[in-house]
Amino acid sequence: MNPVVMIPDAYGHKTNILTPPSHRQVHSLTPATAVTISIPAGAQTVLMAATTDYWVQYEGDAVLPTASVTGGKAPEFNPMARSVAGLAALSFVSEKAGFLSLGFYG
């Protein structure tokens, strides 16, 4: 699994451009139906993007919020990048159909 690496420019300065992730997945999202994804072995970081809004839950089943969630374990709305070190799975849910793209780095 490739680590997150920022590509240097012609002068050796770091840029915001990343190398491609070595492990990539695309998942279909069905309205109000959780999709649970196992974290690949060696993954430390995930980059996430989707064609629709989504909620993600860490180490549990994602559910669409219908009221306030104040206990500290609410699903997170549309995160783009997270550390997944030590996690076994991520769960995603959306109000609308769409596709979810995940890029994992070591």
- What residues does 23 pair with on adjacent strands? 104
**pLDDT digits over 17-32, tens only?**
888 998 999 999 999 9
| Structure confidence at residue 6 (pLDDT) | 80
In the chain the domains, ranked by start, together with CATH numbers, are: 22-105 (2.60.120.10)
Strands 14-18 and 23-29: unpaired
User: Structure tokens of 10?
Assistant: 């012609």
Q: Which residues of the chain have pLDDT under 70?
A: none
User: Structure tokens of 60?
Assistant: 């549990």
- Residues 84 and 56: beta-carbon distance below 8 Å: no
- What residues does 15 pair with on adjacent strands? none
